[in-house]
Amino acid sequence: MPLYHFKNFQMLDPDVGEQQGGLEMVVDGDKIREVSDKPISLAQADAIDCGGRTLMLGLIDSHVHVVLSEVSLRNLESVPLTLMTARAAELMRRMLERGFTSVRDTGGADWGLKEATDKGLLPGPRLFIAGRAIGPTGGHSDSRRRTDFGVRCHCCNAMVFSMGIADGVSEVRRAVREEMRQGADQVKLMMSGGVASPYDPLDSLQFSPAEVTAAVEEAHAFGRYVCAHAYAPDAITRAANAGVRTIEHGNLIDDASAKLMAEKGMFLIANLVTYFEMKKRAAEYGMTSDMLAKNDLVIDGALKSLEICKRHGIPVGFGTDLLGQLQIEQSQEFTLRARVVSPIEIIRSATTIGARILRMEGKLGCLKPGAFADIIVIDGNPLKDLAVLQGQGLHLAAIMKGGRFYKNNLR
């Protein structure tokens, strides 16, 4: 791979918290080789003049679903895996074009898609996969209609492919072991009701403490961890006590459950944009009135959850959780969060905190020698105007993932 020498930029390092001028950077292969405040002399390097623009880390979205290409998830019942994959390829390409160089898929993406992006067969972010999201009968991952008493083969049903059902400790152990066999980076458990599922109330408790503990034990045995879909304090508390590492959503979190999360060293991955976009547009794509009523229940707590977590010192990752046609609004998450937290805190949620969630400290989320060369160059300063991270990548002059340019308007 070429040797690149970046010059004439304002570096935005989240650890510093402000732009730094007078630096130069060398990218060798897929990693950063050197960052210096003195001129670097390299005869053979390809010089990249950034024209005084902002150079920063590639973004990390810690909660996506690249195979869930329909807002109304039941439409996936008639989507074969070939079409599911083609749609996922398009969704991933657009994520990369917005500057997201790494994403954590929390239900659906498999090792095949991960391999395809790792090998460059498909343009897209690095994928950290959960395989199938696991839930109990009648829970958030149970997509069956009330007239359907069986589970269809997943070979022609993208819905079944992306979500699984397990009941009882032994079935949960087996399901988690299967996802480990399939190369999962993390295990996803459904521990409360959800907006997009048809029958379960939001405050329903899904999976017993023993079942959750079994999942955590099996994940830890493989050196992995469990993330839990949970909205209400009871579900968050059950997850925390069983050893779950991250809470997804957490809109209805209260001070008591937040205090417990902080004591356990847990992360919350908040998702705001999905609720606001579903309220505006999901009905036109087939989401039912019952689902939208549940959406209204959680939308009020979305911003409040950020305030509670900040008060208790809980690290909050950047996540979007958008479905199907709404995924185009991924970057709106930045400006929604700005109602509660500062721009640098939001940028950290999508860089340094994201790297910690992925357990990739030193490799992602930092601009230091030895880290992957995941870099974006921006027309503008996101610390002053987060809108430069919107516009479907319009303001991104360059996007590099692993030392490879996917966009370069700097020449």
Location of structure tokens 């959800």? 194
Mean pLDDT over 27-47 rounds to 94
- pLDDT for res 296: 87
Residue 256 neighbours by CB distance under 10 Å: 11
Residue 384 has pLDDT above 70, yes or no: yes
User: What is the token pair recorded at 342?
Assistant: 């500062």
Residue 253 has pLDDT above 70, yes or no: yes
Lowest pLDDT segment from 184-188, 189-193, 294-298 = 294-298
Percent of the chain having pLDDT more than 70?
96
Between CA 200 and CA 155 the distance in angstroms is: 26
Instruction: Enumerate residues 6+ apart whose C-beta is below 8 A from 379.
Output: 53, 388, 395, 396, 397
Lowest pLDDT segment from 148-152, 212-216, 252-256, 345-349 = 148-152
Residue 68 has pLDDT above 80, yes or no: yes
Residue 405 has pLDDT above 90, yes or no: yes
Mean pLDDT over 41-66 rounds to 96
Lowest pLDDT segment from 5-19, 127-141, 339-353 = 127-141
pLDDT in tens, 80-106: 999 999 999 999 999 999 999 999 999
pTM attached to this predicted model: 0.94
Instruction: Enumerate residues 6+ apart whose C-beta is below 8 A from 308.
Output: 253, 254, 255, 258
- pLDDT for res 144: 61
Handedness of CA 73, 79, 83, 85 (dihedral sign): positive
Mean pLDDT over 351-380 rounds to 97
Between CA 279 and CA 297 the distance in angstroms is: 11
- pLDDT for res 1: 72
Mean pLDDT over 207-221 rounds to 98
- pLDDT for res 241: 98
Checking 395-398 for CB contacts under 8 A at 24+ apart, the result is 396/97, 396/98, 396/99, 397/50, 397/51, 397/53, 398/48, 398/50
Percent of the chain having pLDDT more than 90?
80
68 vs 77, more confident: 68
- pLDDT for res 281: 87
Between CA 176 and CA 181 the distance in angstroms is: 9
pLDDT in tens, 132-180: 999 998 766 666 665 665 656 656 788 888 899 999 999 999 999 999 9
Residue 197 has pLDDT above 90, yes or no: no
Mean pLDDT over 249-257 rounds to 96
- pLDDT for res 149: 59
Residue 339 neighbours by CB distance under 10 Å: 10
